[in-house]
Structure formats: structure tokens, C-alpha cells
Amino acid sequence: MFKPKGVIPALITPLDKNGNLLEGALKEVIDYTIAGGVHGIFILGSSGEIYGLTDSQKRRVIEVTVEHTAGRVPIYCGASEITTRDCIKTAQLAQEIGGVSALSVLTPYFMSPTQNELIEHFTAIAKSTELPIVLYGNEGRTHVKIAINTCEVLSKIENIIGIKDSSGDMTKMAEYIRVTDREKFSVLAGKDTLIYGGLCHGGSGAIASTANLAPQLVSDIYNTFIAGDYKKSLELQFKLAPLRFCVDKATFPIVLKEGLKMIGIDAGYTFAPVSEIAFEVKQQLTDVLKDLELYQKVKNPG
């Protein structure tokens, strides 16, 4: 069974002002992150604004990504809808297109299911597809928690192979690692400030939004840790922190797209009503990217 590991950027979806997919920019982001040494790429996540994409756009994002990545790294694809039915629909779309290594499924949002309902939800999705599944908990945005026991139960389903934990709760992440089989089940940090901490507790890596902007830096937190240079890994984790803090300074995920523009990749716009980034936030982001030697790094996009 496929085993998720390393640093996987949660890619943005480049869009024009009217919400149309910018295929050329998507290819640029794919190339930029892979050149930075990432260990996979993740499309159609919350950073990728899956909630606003049409079915045809989701299909095209998968098709373009599979074709352009051309096997260079594994592809993770979100199947994160509100209902079980719609998650299954997106999961089966990814399986039908082919070329996807694993699915990521966020807890439902807007509704607040019980833990038993969550188990039924994820179990039904797992049974609907041959693809491996990474659970995704992001309680800060969905207000739905994946309890430790729920994760333990779901980890015993053959094709549920991991969890992305964006809770920011290091104790919870450590408990996910403790109660699951570390040979068969991967726990991935979803909070970019806790990549090093997760690795210290036996985690397998991270799905990180900041890897859109700083793929080499984020990847090297993992690479140096695996190489046994824990001091360097921690230094790199601290170096990343100011960039991660910038991401929360404006409505998600506009800072990621603004940052890519500063680097030299025009990632377009976010779905309305998200439209503004304050001057002081833009200046702070500029300063952080300059400190990281990423500002205008891509000189000739396209």
C-alpha cells in the first residue's frame, strides 16, 4: 500500500478574475514546487479552493496535474465535499482519470456530525474507491474534530492510510501517532509550524501550504531531520515561522497567491468575496520573502 511521507505542498488553484482555471499558471506552480524538492503535490485542497470549483474544473485540475507532473512525484487529490455522496463522487472522478496516488478527505463542514457519523462517512468513502485515503482534520475551519479513538478505528480500514492534522494541537498529533500502526498509517502535520515537532514524535511529514512559496525550505525541514541533523531541521522550522504567520494575516488563501506573484508566478485571483490584502500585510509578506531570498526568484515565468 502507498505510504505518504515527506513534504507535500497543498497547491493553490490559479484562477482569473472570473474564476476560470489558469492552466499555464498551474503548470508553473507544479514545476516550481517540484524543482524545490517536494516529495509530492496535493491538489483540490482548501488551499486549492475546492469548495468553489465546478465539477468540470475539478476534472481539469486533475487532468492537467497528472499530465504535467508526468510521474515526477506522487499526486494527492482532495475529495473534500460536505456530503458523503459528493465526496464519493469526487473520489470516483479522481480514480476514473487515473494517475492519482491517494485521496485526502476533509471532515464535513457546515454540518457537525457525531464521531459515529464520521466513522460511517469515511468508511463509506473508503469502500467506494480503490484509492488510498488520507483523513483530514482541520477543526479550526470546519469546527469538526476527529477524535483520537475515531482515528484509531478508521486506521484499521485497509485503504485508510493516514491523517493530515491541522488542529495545531501537538498532543493530539502525538496521540494519533501513538494509537495507530506507524508501519501502515502515516500522520502528517497540517500546521506548518509543527513539522519538526511531528517528526520528533514519529510523524511521516507534512502537507504544507507554505510549500507553495518556499518548497525547498519546507522540504529541507524533513530532509535534514531524516538525515539525522536535528539541529539544522529545527533551525529551518524556525526560519519558516514568519512566512506561516503571514498566511493568516488575510482571508485564506489570498496570501499564498499574492506571495506567488511576488516570487514571479501569476497565480491570479481567489474566489469572491475574498479580494483584499491590506497594504501592511503586503509589505510584511514582501519583507519575509526577501529575507528568505524568494522575492522575484522566478525571473521569467511561463
Element of type H or E holding 269: none
297 annotated active-site: no
Cα gap 289→255, rounded to integer Å: 12
Q: Is 231 exposed, middle or buried (0-12, 13-18, 19+ CB in 10 A)?
A: exposed
Q: Which residues contact 235 (CB under 8 A, 6 or more apart)?
A: none
For the chain, helix, strand, coil in percent to 5 are: 50, 15, 40
List 32, 76, 136, 269, catalytic entry = 136
Q: In what order do the strands lie in the sheet containing 41-43?
A: 6-9, 205-208, 186-189, 160-165, 133-137, 102-106, 75-78, 41-43
Q: Say if CB 246 and CB 281 are below 8 A apart.
A: yes
List 164, 172, 191, 257, catalytic entry = 164
C-alpha dist (Å) from residue 266 to 106, 248, 269, 300: 28, 20, 9, 11
164 annotated active-site: yes
Element of type H or E holding 225: helix 215-226
DSSP β-bridge partners for residue 42: 10, 76
Residues annotated as catalytic are 136, 164
